[in-house]
Structure 1
Amino acid sequence: MTRPSLRCPVRIPALLTLALLAACNGGGGGGNLPPAPPGAPSIGGATAGDGSIAVSFSPPASVGSSPIVNHVATCTAPGSTRSQSGVTSPITMSGLTNGVTYTCSVVATNSFGAGPASATVTATPRGVPGAPTIGTAIPGNTSATVSFTPPSANGGSPITGYTVSCAGGGTTRTASGTSSPLTVTGLVNGTSYLCSAQANSAVGAGPASGQVSVTPRAGGQATSTDGVLCTFLVSETNPQLGLNASAIWSCNPTRAVVRNGIPNHPIGNFPNADNPYSIVAQNSVATLSLAPAIAGDGSFVGGASTSGFALNGVKFAFGTRGRCEVAAATVNCNPNGGIGAWAMEAIGSTAFRFGVDDSNGNVDPGTTPGTTGEYRYLGLPNGLIAKLGGGTGIRLVGWAIDGFPIYARYGHSVATDASSAIKELVPGYRLKAAADLGRPPVAQYPLGSFEQDYEFVPGLGDLDRCNGRTGVTPEFPNGIYHYVITAAFPQGPRCIRGTASP
């Protein structure tokens, strides 16, 4: 006998059983409405965290044929899909990769299944950088120069700088910059400090590195240079001058050079209209320390004073004797000295001409105007660099008067990592935004004409205020403080970090 189908009455009596009510709503297998999942949730925002995204949403307007029991958020990126369920908004997705942009959506589910997905929203997880790897700490006079290697992970956001902290004696001192090494000042000599480094990004500061111990002292920590180019010899004729270029280096008991200052490479025509002096052979001996030590932040080397000596015996002197004074609105300039306060620049200046040749050399007129002088380098010694092999290698070209080495132009991109790429190093100086008060007029003497037109900005470049840094080099694989000659101001060390006597 065929069972008649159940038909729902127009009016449901008050005592109708729950089973009959369910059948009238289509739940008894013979109803008029099919089972339905929920509608699509309304997507809200996505808040990125460290390896996570919190997805917010509003429940769908239609719950379907039965109550919503769950929501599922899904975030996808190329090659990666992750899902997380939750009852209420927001749902936080973890285990994501920092720096990768994800597209996220939400679906609602009831006993009949999952409904359609919401609209999508994107977010990129970001965290703080990892910890740098600590390197060495070189003590100075009330200071410490701390080196480190950048962290392997930046947390998905570019590293904007580093902070080195040195704690000891109940105080903590810090230094900030964009690259290693950083010099922490204001320390107490004789006090032991523990120093560490942190990387910073727009997200925040990362964890600290390990620690390295250092004890500042007035004499600094000596670094031996014995055994490096201790028997270097130059002896060849300069055909333009008809003179022999001679430089004999030795290391017993100090580093010494017996030199005549004649360059061993092609030079410009001297005398010339802008440098009317003839080259005169010298006969001198210079002695330098074999164990230089950082003594402070740098002692100024003024004017045309000697900063060091090239391997061919030619002196480095990156300033000039030229001075300008402003008196009664009149500017008086003397390229050979004078009483003015404004130091004339030879390299990069359009206002003054010092007859500099292709190796950035000219003839020092000496302390008495009108006398002949000594050939000296005011910038990159291009002729010497070519004689030493040229190229973009890390090239030792001389020694500073404090005994630290002088390199030309290039260094490792990470100062303490010999496996890092070689790059052209950038000085930390820039032109001032405006001329100093009392300066000769800019219309006649553009910014860059005087030494005082430049300012040092810590962390701006790769080098410190003396155009040096602590790092590894081919001759010093364990690292050493060294100066660098650059194409831009200050060209070379115009201040000296170590003591100037051996």
Structure 2
Amino acid sequence: MTPTISKFANALSSSAKPTGLGLVCTAFLTFSATAHEATSVDITGAIFASTRADCASYENLYSSDVTDTQQYRQLKGSVHVTAYDDHCVVESNSIPNHDTGEGSGRNFVAPVTEISGSFTIPRSPKQQASVTALEQRSYDAILLNGVVVDILSAGCYRPGGNRVDANGNVAIGCRATDKWLLDPLGPDAGFGADIHHAHTQPNGQYHYHGNPMAMFDDQPGDDGSPVIGFAADGFPIYGSYFKDAAGAVRKAKSGYSLKPGTRPSSASDPGGTYDGMYVDDFEFTDAGDLDACNGMVVNGQYAYYVTDAYPWVIKCFSGTPDSSFAKPRP
């Protein structure tokens, strides 16, 4: 395969204001075709604008300069999107386009570290007859700021385990199929995520468990929120807003609801009210706009949407996830 001929440049307008951590730049990105070679674009603090679903629309080199607020040091992000005939490749060093560590309540398990990754995104993904479950051995998505989405935790209710917390939960060692898997963004989950719903792995890789609170905001365009990344199956991920059938631009609503009543109480069940601490506290009731994977079709395009409630970004894959999203073996 050879890269597509067209490259994509970016028109930027920005405003900067001083904060206690230096300058925070808010940039608005649009993408237009050009025959020139890709040039590095600073996306520090960027709010994206493009709603194009083809990953080739974002072909370029991107950079950012942000602050690790826990270690009091500067971090430099790097993202390279390359388009080919039938797929795109996103290469990044896992550093986001925003500051890290704010609001976590404690230091991450390891300082934010540059971790190289390369992800293949099919340009013409297809919905399959059956969905594919998320796995702990693979990342779920790569966002356009170069940071992966990794929804599932490895914590669960295991009162007989090591380093059990006051609720009978352990933070590591559980499989995706175990009962009472912790939702990292659930109440009292104890994962120490920052204001971007992210933290680090033991190797220092920064990753999201939910809404990145970046790249889109609550002032969407006429067609809704922009594309902020791509799932492992190639379908785009939009921010929270879309234009509905009535022409109104509004937030997409999750189809999941908390189960009524209380959990079973036994040696292997935590008891208590279904409050969202565990993945099993939720059930798909089709009460919102989105399907069981947290996606829907708008104007003929299937995509996933960031939501204010569980499952936050993606619950399963409607297409076939690419093997490049498998996590490296330790």
Deviations 1:289-331 (A, max 9, x none): 1110001342110348421111011001222121222559x97
Q: CA deviation at 1:434?
A: 3.0
Contact kept in structure 1, 2:64 and 2:96, CA below 8 Å: no
Farther-moved stretch of structure 1 (371-380 vs 332-341): 332-341
Contact 1:411/1:423, CA 8 A, preserved across alignment: yes
List, as ranges, runs of 4+ consecutive aligned residues in structure 1 with deviation greater than 6 Å.
none
Instruction: Determine the C-alpha separation between the residues in 2 that align with 1:436 and 1:232.
Output: 49
Name the residue aligned to 2:309. Answer: 488
CA deviation digits over 1:187-213, x for unaligned, max 9?
xxxxxxxxxxxxxxxxxxxxxxxxxxx
Deviation string, structure 1 residues 214-258 (Cα, Å, up to 9, x no partner)? xxxxxxxxxx95574241432122233422111111211421101
The CA deviation at 1:441 is: 2.2
Equivalent-residue separation in structure 2 for 1:270 and 1:284 (angstroms): 27
Which of the numbers 293, 296, 301 marks the counterpart of 1:469? 296
The 5 Å alignment of 1:376-455 reads 376-385=207-216, 391-392=219-220, 393-414=224-245, 420-437=247-264, 438-442=268-272, 447-455=275-283
Q: Which residue of 2 aligns with 1:335?
A: 171
Q: Point out where structure 2 has 5 or more consecutive residues left out of the alignment.
A: 1-51, 324-330
Which residue identity does 2:243 align to in structure 1?
A: H
Partner of 2:132: 299
| In 1, Cα distance between equivalents of 2:284 and 2:277 | 16
Distance 2:104 2:240 in 1: 29
**Aligned residue number for residue 182 of structure 2:** 344
C-alpha contact 1:314 1:377 (8 A) present in aligned 2: yes
Q: Distance in 2 between matches of 1:499 and 1:334?
A: 31
Gaps of 5+ in 1: 1-223, 366-370, 473-478
Whether 2:69 is the aligned partner of 1:237: answer: no
* Identical columns (%): 26
Q: 1:463, 1:338 → 2: CA distance?
A: 28
Question: Aligned partners of 1:398, 1:404: CA distance in 2, in Å?
Answer: 9
Q: Distance in 2 between matches of 1:291 and 1:357?
A: 34
Tell whether 2:191 aligns with 1:354: yes
Higher relative contact order (CA 8 A, sep 6+): 2
Q: Which amino acid aligns with 2:252?
A: L
- Residue of structure 1 in register with 2:143 after alignment: 310
Which residue of structure 2 lines up, in the alignment, with residue 247 of structure 1? 79
Deviation at 1:383, TM superposition (A): 2.6
Q: Deviations over 1:345-386 (max 9, x none)?
A: 122x222221111111111x2xxxxx3331111111113325
Q: Please give the secondary structure, in 2, of the residue aligned with 1:466.
A: coil
Return the offset for 1:398: 0.3
SS at structure 1 position matched to 2:270: coil
Inter-CA distance 465–353: structure 2 relative to 1 (3 Å threshold): same
Classify the secondary structure of the residue corresponding to 2:169.
Answer: strand
Pairwise CA RMSD of aligned residues?
A: 2.7
